[in-house]
Amino acid sequence: MADRPRIIGIDLGTTNTLVASVKNRIPKIVPTDRGNLILPSVVALSGKGELLVGGVAKDQMVTNPKNTLYGTKRLIGRKYQSKVVDDLKGYFKYDIVEAPDGDAAVTLGGRMYTLPEVSSFILKQLKTIAEQFLGGPIDEAVISVPAYYTDSQRQAVKEAGKLAGFNVKRIVNEPTAAALAYGFNRGLDQKILVYDLGGGTFDVSVLHLTGNVFEVLATGGDTFLGGVDFDNRVMDYVLEKFWEETKVDLSQSPIAMQRIKNAAEAAKIDLTLIPNVVIDLPYIEERKGKPLDLRIPLTRENLNALTMDLVDRTFEICDRVLAEKGINRSEIDEIILVGGQSRMPLVQQRIQEHFGKPARKGVHPDECVALGAALLADSLGTIDSVTLLDAVSMPIGYALPNGRVRRVIEKNSIIPLVKSFRLPPPKDPGSPFIEMDIFQGDSDLMVDNEYLGTLRVPAESAGRKIDFRLNEECLLQVMVEEPGGPRRIELATRDTPELLKKELARVAEERAQKAEQAASTPSSHQEGSGLFSKVKSIFRRG
């Protein structure tokens, strides 16, 4: 019993989730009950009212869209009134609603679930899988999150872990976990770039590895760029070609769309290894009582042409992240690939062209985050544990009366850290309280950032020192100097600030006006505006 692992590493992904454990200092992925190494991050309610998790839930994504939750990693820890959630409402077929605490939530079978609850269903399934495979109870875990996650999102993931029965020992950034899988105990002295193109997101981080010290120098990403976008381009192509041949619109058939989605993803993967495929779907539809077969060739060159702009966007982000810290491409010693989409030959070709060197082989793109999380979990509390000097992915500050944000903590600051300033007087003279709305995000405008909560202290605290503290998990603590010593202040998050509501309403009105103008203005055909661009509204951000 003594050698049984008691702590695991989890990569809670947008599209797929993996769990890993360490035995004899070697990390390994734990296979699921289906024998796969990955568990689709999908939760659904069957027609019989049964809760489904993983592959069985994914299988009914199109045929039962209202009761199939996918891509919820986009929503977790966000306020319902936030701009991002407003943008995401049209991307999913399931209903996004407002929870009593103001957070975004979802409905399944007419019942509301919080986003931490949804993630906990996936984590519970992993817990069961790991316990069965490893032969004993597992109560502790290290869970990875995207580097761009806000404080609220990190807290929500910790809550999900707790709901699943885990003591979450640490939250670790995904690129940092990948770097651990690459450099742990190798005695390296290198600058590495982690290029993470997963199913739903793109992340890039630059780290300096010195022995078992992993220092994040810069990080960035795009929350709306991932493998699903590549799948959607193939689906659009297939639908357009079939329409040209038959004048039949398959996008109206949920069952046909599910088959095309699966075939598009499979074809994309096959084109990693071979130059040509044929998407062959017999009896895809019926016309005048006769079956119609779908048979459409797809070459690697076709795929490259369909997705070149998506790949180019990743390198624009890479260059921006490097420029923020004044790092030249030539200073990067190794490029580590993370995420299944990074296997694409076009991606690897462009990496060679862009950085003047090929990506590092030998680091598994799908598994390295979970393996790194497991290595960190195993090292906690040991003498030769790793030192992680992670960085803040987005600035943190407080709102000003003009709708802008005054930054307290700057992007790419190394954590843990403490930043101090003096409390201003109340906004309204005579008010018994000082209230400050705290935001995190890259924009100088409050409306474009994520609301973390409201600091509320007595007016007599004006002029006292206030500390913003970020721990090694990038979780925020606010401390106010009091006569008896520092006191921790919990941020109130039940209500969205009135100022933010007004700004969001104004932005929504501007968008509506622009949409009306665009609709009334004739335009030439652009990519994504054709007959079958509706596929993007069906399969957004898996």
Per the structure, the complete domain to which residue 236 belongs is given by 227-304
What value does the mean pLDDT take over residues 51-74?
90
pLDDT digits (tens, 9 = 90+) for 198-218: 888 899 999 999 999 999 999
pLDDT digits (tens, 9 = 90+) for 164-182: 999 999 999 999 999 999 9
One domain for residues 180 and 69: yes
**pLDDT over 60 at 536, yes or no:** no
**pLDDT over 70 at 474, yes or no:** yes
Q: How far apart, in whole angstroms, are the C-alpha atoms of residue 523 and residue 464?
A: 58
What value does the mean pLDDT take over residues 453-463?
90
One domain for residues 261 and 382: no
Domain boundary among 336, 352, 387: 387
The answer to whether residue 342 sits within a structural domain is no
The answer to whether residue 467 sits within a structural domain is yes
The answer to whether residue 519 sits within a structural domain is no
One domain for residues 36 and 175: yes
CATH of the domain at 411: 2.60.34.10
**pLDDT over 60 at 540, yes or no:** no
One domain for residues 382 and 400: no
Q: Residue 484, exposed/middle/buried by CB under 10 A (0-12, 13-18, 19+)?
A: exposed
Q: How far is CA 178 from the centre of its chain?
A: 15
Contact (Cβ atoms closer than 8 angstroms) between residue 201 and residue 316: no
Kindly report the pTM of this predicted structure: 0.85
What value does the mean pLDDT take over residues 151-173?
95
- Could you tell me which residues are beta bridge partners of residue 215? 208, 389
> Where would I find the beta strands (DSSP E) of 306-404?
334-338, 387-389, 396-399
Give residue 512's pLDDT. 65
Give residue 496's pLDDT. 62
Q: How far apart, in whole angstroms, are the C-alpha atoms of residue 241 and residue 249?
A: 10
Domain boundary among 480, 496, 512: 496
One domain for residues 66 and 140: yes
> Where would I find the beta strands (DSSP E) of 239-317?
276-287, 290-299
| Runs of H (alpha helix) within 356-442 | 368-379
The answer to whether residue 373 sits within a structural domain is yes
Q: From its phi and psi, is residue 180 left (phi > 0), alpha (psi between -120 and 50) or beta?
A: alpha
Range ranked top by mean pLDDT from 83-87, 249-253, 501-505: 249-253
Contact (Cβ atoms closer than 8 angstroms) between residue 39 and residue 122: yes
Q: How far apart, in whole angstroms, are the C-alpha atoms of residue 268 and residue 264?
A: 6
Contact (Cβ atoms closer than 8 angstroms) between residue 260 and residue 266: no
One domain for residues 142 and 265: no
One domain for residues 372 and 409: no
One domain for residues 159 and 238: no
The answer to whether residue 337 sits within a structural domain is no
The answer to whether residue 440 sits within a structural domain is yes
Q: How far apart, in whole angstroms, are the C-alpha atoms of residue 519 and residue 97?
A: 28
pLDDT digits (tens, 9 = 90+) for 86-136: 888 877 889 999 999 889 999 999 999 999 999 999 999 999 999 999 999
- Confidence at 402, pLDDT banded by 50, 70, 90: confident
| Average per-residue pLDDT for the chain | 88
- Confidence at 541, pLDDT banded by 50, 70, 90: very low
Give residue 271's pLDDT. 97
One domain for residues 49 and 175: yes
- Report the number of distinct structural domains present in the chain: 3
**pLDDT over 50 at 531, yes or no:** no
285-289, 335-339, 356-360, 366-370 — which is least confidently predicted?
285-289
The answer to whether residue 72 sits within a structural domain is yes
Residue 416, preceding peptide bond in cis (omega within 30° of 0): yes
CATH of the domain at 113: 3.30.420.40
Q: Residue 323, exposed/middle/buried by CB under 10 A (0-12, 13-18, 19+)?
A: exposed
SS3 state at 30: coil
Q: How far apart, in whole angstroms, are the C-alpha atoms of residue 96 and residue 80?
A: 8
Contact (Cβ atoms closer than 8 angstroms) between residue 160 and residue 355: no
Give residue 494's pLDDT. 56
Give the largest CA-CA distance in the chain: 84
What value does the mean pLDDT take over residues 207-235?
91
SS3 state at 256: helix
CATH of the domain at 259: 3.90.640.10
One domain for residues 146 and 291: no
Residues tagged active-site: 11, 73, 174, 196
One domain for residues 260 and 296: yes
Contacts of 442 (CB under 8 A, 6+ apart): 394, 395, 411, 448, 449
Residue 244 φ then ψ, to 5° = -60, -40
One domain for residues 376 and 420: no
Q: Output the CA torsion 236→240→242→246 (10° steps).
A: 150
**pLDDT over 80 at 535, yes or no:** no
CA angle (370 as vertex; 362, 179 as ends), nearest 5: 55
The answer to whether residue 329 sits within a structural domain is no
pLDDT digits (tens, 9 = 90+) for 320-344: 999 999 999 999 999 999 999 999 9
What is the enclosing helix (H) or strand (E) of 196?
strand 189-197
Contacts of 103 (CB under 8 A, 6+ apart): 77, 78, 79, 80, 114, 115, 156, 493
- Confidence at 509, pLDDT banded by 50, 70, 90: confident
